Chains A and B, each alone.
Chain A
Amino acid sequence: MIELRDIRKTYTVGKEQIDVLKSIRLTIEEGEFTAIMGPSGSGKSTLMNIIGCLDKQTSGQYLLNGENISDYEDTALARVRNQSIGFVFQQFQLLPRLTALRNVELPMIYNGIGKRERLERAAEALRKVGLSDRMEHLPNALSGGQKQRVAIARAIVNQPQIILADEPTGALDTKTSISIMEQFVKLNEEGTTVVLVTHEPEIADYTNRTITVRDGEIVANDGRR
């Protein structure tokens, strides 16, 4: 499903060239639950951004569902983000002035779905993450765990094939983290491919496969199960 071929990412700072990613080769199959681990500065976030089409590689090829999306224009990449990928961020990234329901509705607005269907599907997604009684709350009236569940609802509402989660439990306590991870496990069991970036081994333990990145290279690629 996700195939990265010799992905490189280079930043030029002044006269110096910094290789953030050095020739990454990686394949993630449909239905996998993968963790990307590594210390800060290892390039794991950049890798994540490239997989999520938020960033573009300097060279190499990115095949999504067998389609080479390396040369896609901004507009086409926005479509891929909208329909094929759901993001969950460490800082939740909810719009503070919109209610939980309206936040979840957003991706469908950009997908051109009619108002009634949007509201129905947003309510359904919130019900799925156990927040049917918090739909009309603004984000700052919600706890950290609730905010992250709104974010998960938003990520799945367009029914993407891939969920990308960047340190989804980084801002949460242990107990809340467990309940959030259970959400991801459930989603994965339903068939969604989940890729999460973390530096906590306990979080990585929920997954079936751990990819370790260090200094822009994949140093370990362990499948479990």
Chain B
Amino acid sequence: MSLMENIKMALSSLKAHKLRSVLTMLGIIIGVGAVIIVVAIGQGGEAVLKSQITGAGNTVELFYQPSEEELQANPSVLYEAAFTSEDIRMLETIPEVKQVVASSSEYSSIRYREQTGDSSVFGINQAYMDLNNLEIEEGQGFSEADFRSGRRAALISYSLQEKFFEGQSPIGEVIRIGNQPVEIIGVLAKPTGLFAFGSMDIYLPFNTWKMVFGKDDVTQMTLQATSADHIQAVAEKATFQLNQLHNTEDSYMVINMEEMAEGIGQITRIMTIIIGSIAGISLFVGGIGVMNIMLVSVTERTREIGIRMALGATRTQVLTQFLIEAIILTLIGGMIGILLGWGVSGIVASFAGWPSLISWQVVVGGIVFSMVIGIIFGLLPANKASKLDPIEALRYE
């Protein structure tokens, strides 16, 4: 008897008990669906977390961690800015560096007419604008000329606009940082995303910031590599050159965002495994459901088994018949489960605003796993069927 014959026989027998077949499949459908959903959402979430951490990507952040000797030689070194404009010019000459993202920040009192407040004031360069995706809600951003000339222009954050201008347009208004006047040319869009919270910020072109605060400090520096493959080279060259220039020993270091993202990826993977194994338990329970129904089915069809044996079915053929029924049951259940998981994770992802990632490995794994469950849990009932005594089975009422 061919496999095709067996499969057709199994299908017609499952079709004969539609309700029961569907109910049995339900356990597998839910189990496979749950596993798919957990894995898809887990992988989607991981991708979102990673991209939020690494930003536009391919970046390394430089920082300065003074050694014991340096601290003893100059105790206030921690409060001084670690980088200078000279460093930027030097780092820009490294061939693998696409751009140097530099910013300085200072906390300052601000004043607009009679209102006063405190705000972080950032001096930024052109690369910072590109990399950090600062979106302009109203007005316009800095032009190249603004960066070069040090025009007294400012971008303010959405929160600052809300507090000082209460819905009126701030464009063209003059705000004072300390005593220095700057003209507001744009308002930034309200930040979105995981780590966004509205703070009062003012952004100035780097040259303007130098004039306003009268110093040439760079507090934060990030290098963007030309490609992901060059991140390591950029990190090594930059730290080597900085340490040489500042005459320090390994005090200039990098925080590789990729590494951090990898760490977070590991955490989400562990979470996915934990939740996934809980979902796996429901798949296991579904398998036991299949076994139960198949056992009932074998008892109920005792006479059929007797007839088939009398007509010449071997024990192996009877075993195969019931095993294939179990496998088809779990296979169809598994496929419906995959569709269900795909649909639900798509819906969840669209609400959460992150991608649902269903890889072909997960789909193939789901199908293979549900078949394996069919074999494991179908074996006991099928074996029971094949061991029946044909005479007893024929007499069974």
Contacts and interface: CB of A to CB of B under 8 A. Distances in A.
Interface of A: 49, 52, 54-55, 74-75, 78-79, 81-83, 87, 89, 93-95, 97, 106-107, 109-112, 154, 158
Given A55-B391, A110-B317, A93 B303 contact: yes
Interface residues of B, number: 24
- A-B interface, 8 closest residue pairs, ranked by CB to CB distance from nearest: A82-B312, A78-B314, A110-B312, A107-B311, A97-B16, A75-B314, A81-B312, A93-B307
A86 B325 CA distance: 28
Interface in B286-345: 303-304, 306-317
B391 A75 contact: no
B311 A87 contact: yes
Given A93-B307, A95-B304, A95-B307, A110 B391 contact: no
Contacts of B307: 93-95
Contact of A110 (B306, B311, B390, B394): B311
19 contacts: A54-B310, A74-B314, A74-B315, A75-B316, A78-B314, A78-B317, A81-B309, A81-B310, A81-B311, A82-B311, A82-B312, A82-B313, A89-B394, A93-B307, A93-B310, A95-B307, A97-B16, A109-B5, A110-B311
Given A95-B304, A109-B5, A79 B312 contact: yes
Nearest to B311: A107
Nearest to B312: A82
A103 B391 CA distance: 19
B73 interface: no
Contact of A75 (B310, B315, B390): B315
B194 interface: no
Contacts of B315: 74-75, 78
Contacts of B311: 81-82, 87, 106-107, 110, 154
B19 interface: no
Given A49-B391, A54-B391, A93-B303, A106 B310 contact: no
Contacts of A154: 311
Interface string B64-104: 00000000000000000000000000000000000000000
B314 A109 contact: no
Contacts of B12: 97
Given A81-B311, A107-B312, A109-B9, 20 more contacts: A49-B391, A74-B314, A74-B315, A75-B316, A79-B312, A81-B309, A82-B311, A82-B313, A87-B310, A93-B307, A95-B307, A97-B16, A106-B308, A109-B1, A109-B5, A110-B308, A110-B312, A110-B313, A112-B1, A158-B312
Contacts of A87: 310-311
Contacts of B316: 75
A78 B303 contact: no
B309 A78 contact: yes
B16 to A, nearest CB: 5
A89 B395 CA distance: 11
Interface in B171-222: none
Contact of B1 (A52, A83, A110): A110
A104 B33 CA distance: 42
A111 B308 CA distance: 12
A78 B1 CA distance: 13
A220 to B, nearest CB: 26
Given A93-B303, A97-B16, A78 B391 contact: no
Contacts of B16: 97
B385 to A, nearest CB: 14
Contacts of A54: 309-310, 390-391, 394
Interface in B228-269: none
Residue picked from A83, A109, A154, most chain B C-beta under 10 Å: A109
Contacts of B13: 97
A81 B2 CA distance: 19
Nearest to B5: A109
A158 B2 CA distance: 18
B12 to A, nearest CB: 8
A62 B306 CA distance: 23
Contacts of B9: 109
A211 to B, nearest CB: 21
Residue picked from B13, B306, B312, B313, most chain A C-beta under 10 Å: B312
A49 to B, nearest CB: 6
Residue picked from B303, B306, B394, most chain A C-beta under 10 Å: B394
Contacts of A79: 312, 314
Contacts of A82: 311-313
Residue picked from A55, A78, A82, most chain B C-beta under 10 Å: A78
A1 B16 CA distance: 42
Nearest to A93: B307
A92 to B, nearest CB: 10
A80 to B, nearest CB: 8
A111 B2 CA distance: 11
A95 to B, nearest CB: 6
B171 to A, nearest CB: 80
